[in-house]
């Protein structure tokens, strides 16, 4: 029996004042049970946080993983990135209704952002962590 989906590491990020923008201070890793794969966003990666309304800051770590996958379309097809995002939200404890509402909105509007966001570190043009 394989492990359930879970975050391997916790979100450690710096938030830019007055924005939703965050920069990872350490690797952020998530294990997807559906794909039996671990996705790791590198330190220094800049992402825009949750695009929709949140309760208690939920979805922040999920957004970091999802934005990482959207920034790497050559590795992660959009449908896979969106399904893993839904797994991430469940792992963060988001309920069925909200999780599915967020996923539905993402499937409708994610095409506007997939592979198009510039997630460069403000301190460097290399956000891949040297990879």
Encode pLDDT of 86-108 as tens digits. 999 999 999 999 899 989 988 99
Asked whether the predicted pLDDT for residue 57 surpasses 60, the reply is yes
The answer to whether residue 80 sits within a structural domain is yes
The answer to whether residue 1 sits within a structural domain is no
Token pair in block for residue 107: 């499937």
The answer to whether residue 50 sits within a structural domain is yes
b/e 116-131 (16+ beta carbons within 10 angstroms → b): eeebebeeeeebeeee
| Residue 2 confidence (pLDDT) | 78
Asked whether the predicted pLDDT for residue 55 surpasses 80, the reply is no
The answer to whether residue 44 sits within a structural domain is yes
The answer to whether residue 82 sits within a structural domain is yes
Residue 97 belongs to domain spanning? 6-112
Cα dihedral 98→63→79→42 (10° resolution): -160
List pLDDT tens digits, range 66-83: 999 999 999 999 999 999
| Residue 44 confidence (pLDDT) | 97
The answer to whether residue 49 sits within a structural domain is yes
**Model's pTM, two decimal places?**
0.84
Q: What whole-number distance in Å separates Cα of residue 120 and Cα of residue 64?
A: 14
Q: Based on the structure, what is the number of domains in the chain?
A: 1
């Amino acid at each position: 029996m394989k492990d359930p989906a879970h975050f391997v590491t916790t979100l450690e990020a710096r938030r830019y004042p007055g924005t939703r923008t965050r920069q990872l201070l350490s690797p952020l890793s998530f294990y997807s049970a559906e794909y039996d794969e671990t996705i790791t966003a590198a330190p220094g990666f800049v992402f825009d946080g949750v695009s929709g309304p949140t309760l208690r800051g939920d979805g922040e770590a999920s957004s970091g993983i999802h934005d990482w996958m959207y920034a790497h379309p050559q590795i992660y097809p959009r449908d896979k990135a969106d399904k893993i995002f839904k797994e991430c939200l469940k792992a963060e404890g988001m309920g069925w209704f909200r999780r599915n509402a967020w996923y539905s909105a993402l499937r409708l509007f994610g095409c506007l952002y997939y592979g198009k966001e510039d997630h460069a570190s403000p301190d460097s043009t290399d956000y891949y962590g040297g990879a």
